[in-house]
Copies of this chain bind each other. A is one copy, B any other.
Amino acid sequence: MAKELKELTPREENYSQWYNDLVVKADLAENSAVRGCMVIKPYGYAIWEKMQRILDDMFKETGHQNAYFPLFIPKSFLSREADHVEGFAKECAVVTHYRLKTNPDGTGVVVDPEAKLEEELIVRPTSETIIWNTYKNWIQSYRDLPILCNQWANVVRWEMRTRLFLRTAEFLWQEGHTAHATEAEALEEARRMLNVYADFAENFMAVPVVKGIKSANERFAGAVETFCIEAMMQDGKALQAGTSHFLGQNFAKAFDVQFVNKENKLDYVWATSWGVSTRLMGALIMAHADNNGLVLPPKLAPFQVVIVPIYKNQEQLDAINDKVNTLTSQFKNLGISFKYDNADNKKPGWKFSEYELKGVPVRIAIGARDLENGTVEVMRRDTLQKETMSFDGIAEHIKSLLDDIQANIFKKALDYRASVTREVNSYEEFKVEIEKGGFISAHWDGTPETEEKIKEETKATIRCIPLEGDKTPGKCMVTGRPSACRVLFARAY
């Protein structure tokens, strides 16, 4: 019965329901009493913590420091940068009062009308404005530059339609905000962080990504150029996994942040910002999971190996416990994380399903016969293949198996992406192909009007103008006008 409760809606039947089932049943997250805000449960948060730790190390290796800026932004700050306010004022949580009082009728509390703020505060949807207002006081001369700050924080965007991890009113993220003396340095920084994100996505999440530039329509509100990494999910929809913005001097001008440059002249400071969020959890799930549940890359799994004993009596369990102690001390030496689940109120079959659902990369089962034969049963989650192996040398074997799983799920995702990426040369063909999902590489005349028309007629957006690959010019599939190179279209999350 417990098992049935954990069963997922099959992907083929209802992809969206499969995703929601999985997030909730694998104990990753759930909806809260507050519309659009999620609760990230311990197992889900443990994965996010692994992501944070790895990214944080990468940021520090590239010279960044963490800092913390206020949750609230004065309303007037949002309006300082013209494009920014257009992009972010629409959907934000507004604090108007700072006190409650007991309801005169004695039931509960009401907002105290006496405690109205002079200027409303916005719960940060992103922090460029409050940070550039702060940087103004930190920067006088080129010697104060660069400033390379990152913050780990929560942000709020009042989304009307929300989905766990993918689009929530409150989400967790990191936002880097850097200040530079020259345009070239800022552009280099924006590209550096794009590469950090791509490295993280591919080598830790095992999710292949396309690095590219956003079209003007899809650009961050206030950016001169938005770089992005785009991933392909198993339902053929694209997901923007991270963005890195070259902000030019827009925010420096909006907040009057000038500095004396090496030539002793006043100039506005150059800026970047870049972020990834708990949305990555959604990408991780949708890139690898199957109808049995999550499939976690070993580098991000809260524990890489689960060990399940199979026994009929205490004597057998004692013998297995001894064997497992030997094994786990070897795991510790090799840096392999594990969980030994010898809880006696659940049956092995229940545990097997549970850990498949939770995507634990490797499962080891040890029974009485294994003790006799000096063997264990090893199952790898990515292929669900089981193998009986000699106990001798098993820890080293698991170590290389984990590497193999990490590589295999990346390759699987890469092969899938290749299978759903194709070139298309006419708009007629495009309309047919887009229904099948995947990335479509096609020529576009570079105008927002054409992009808008395609979006309206097909729900496809330009995911990016890829930085690498074929740069042959051609003709726009819609208007026939000249196109500088192919761009990547998809329907997207």
Contact = CB atoms under 8 A, between A and B. Distances in A.
Given A67-B45, A70-B37, A100 B89 contact: yes
A202 interface: no
Contacts of A313: none
Given A66-B49, A67-B39, A123-B123, A34 B72 contact: yes
A98 interface: yes
A95 B98 contact: no
A325 interface: no
Interface string A214-252: 000000000000000000000000000000000000000
Interface residues of A, number: 64
A75 B111 CA distance: 9
A95 B123 contact: yes
A109 B79 contact: yes
A122 interface: yes
Interface in A27-64: 30, 32-34, 37-42, 45-46, 48-49
A99 interface: yes
B120 A78 contact: no
A74 B72 CA distance: 19
Nearest to A92: B100
A448 to B, nearest CB: 21
Q: Which of A65, A67, A134 has the most CB of B within 10 A?
A: A67
Nearest to A76: B108
A111 B48 CA distance: 34
Interface in A94-120: 94-102, 108-109, 111, 120
A109 B75 contact: yes
Given A32-B130, A76-B108, A130-B34, A39 B92 contact: no
B149 A33 contact: no
B89 A98 contact: no
Contacts of A149: 42
A56 to B, nearest CB: 9
A172 interface: yes
A354 interface: no
Nearest to A90: B99
Nearest to A38: B70
A51 to B, nearest CB: 13
A91 interface: yes
Contact of A97 (B38, B49, B94): B94
15 contacts: A32-B134, A34-B73, A34-B130, A39-B67, A39-B69, A42-B65, A45-B68, A48-B68, A49-B66, A71-B156, A72-B93, A79-B108, A92-B98, A96-B96, A111-B120
Interface of A: 30, 32-34, 37-42, 45-46, 48-49, 65-79, 85, 89-102, 108-109, 111, 120-123, 130, 133-134, 137, 143, 149, 153-154, 156, 158, 170, 172, 345
